[in-house]
Structures are given as C-alpha cells and as structure tokens.
Structure 1
C-alpha cells in the first residue's frame, strides 16, 4: 500500500523534467532540425578557427621578433657609419 501512495506523488524534479519535455515537444521538427544542424556546425568549425588562430599567433610572434632584430641591427649599423 505504501508504494502506491509514494508513486502517486511525483518528485518536483520529475515534474520539472516533464514540463521541459512537453515544451520541447511543442517545437516543430524543422526547428529542432535547424537547431541540431547549427550546433553541429558550431562544433565542427571550432577546429578550423582554433587552427587559424594558432597560425596567426605564430606569424605575429615571428613578425615581432623580426621587427625587433631589424630595428636593433639597423641602429647599430647607423652608429658605425657616423
């Protein structure tokens, strides 16, 4: 008898999950498909974006080092000429 009474009252968490499920079910299939495709596209594009940012950072570092050495060596040559 106690089990029937306990199962009749649902936990608040279960009720909340059911409400969310009902709201998600109300969406049309095209909306759900578009959302899924957008999420998959975002996941797949992050690899390309991360690789591009890494290459850009390395190029920026090399450019800064080149500029630093160029400026230091060019000022030393000018001092020797004077």
Structure 2
C-alpha cells in the first residue's frame, strides 16, 4: 500500500521545474534570445571591468610609493638649507 502511494507522488522540485519550463514556452523567441544575449554580454563585460580595476590598483600603488619618497626627500632637503 505504501509503495503505490510513494510512486504516484512527485517531488516538489520536479513540479517546480515543470512549471518553469511551461513559463519559458510562453515567452516569444525574441524575448528568449534577448535574455540570452543580455546574459552573455554581462559575462563578457566583467573581464574589461577587472582589467581597469587592476590597472587602477597598480597606479594607486605607484602613486603611494612616489608620495612616500617625495615626502622623505623633500624634508631632508629643507633641513640641509641654512637660513642664516
């Protein structure tokens, strides 16, 4: 008796997947194509953003090093000059 009841019931995940599949068929081909192209553009666009972030980080690091050396050398030069 228990086997018969267990085989007829479906998992909620399977029912959910079927509902999603039915909703996808209701969409037009143009809408599905546009959604796919939008997702692909988002995936490929992240590479360019990462490149700019890396370049910005390197430039910021170099700017910090430059500022460190500039401040250290400028204070030493001012101490060497006598005002008398």
Same fold (TM over 0.5): yes
Specify the alignment match of 1:19 in structure 2.
19
Equivalent-residue separation in structure 2 for 1:29 and 1:9 (angstroms): 33
2:24 pairs with 1:55: no
Q: Taking structure 1 as the reference length, what is the TM-score of the superposition? A: 0.83
Q: SS state of the match for residue 10, structure 2?
A: coil
Equivalent-residue separation in structure 1 for 2:21 and 2:30 (angstroms): 17
Specify the alignment match of 1:39 in structure 2.
39
Q: Which ranges of structure 1 fall in alignment gaps of 5 or more residues? A: none
How many corresponding residue pairs?
A: 81
CA offset at residue 31 of structure 1? 1.1
Report the RMSD for the aligned CA atoms in angstroms.
2.0
Q: Which ranges of structure 2 fall in alignment gaps of 5 or more residues? A: none
CA offset at residue 6 of structure 1? 5.9
Equivalent-residue separation in structure 2 for 1:30 and 1:63 (angstroms): 49
Q: Taking structure 2 as the reference length, what is the TM-score of the superposition? A: 0.81
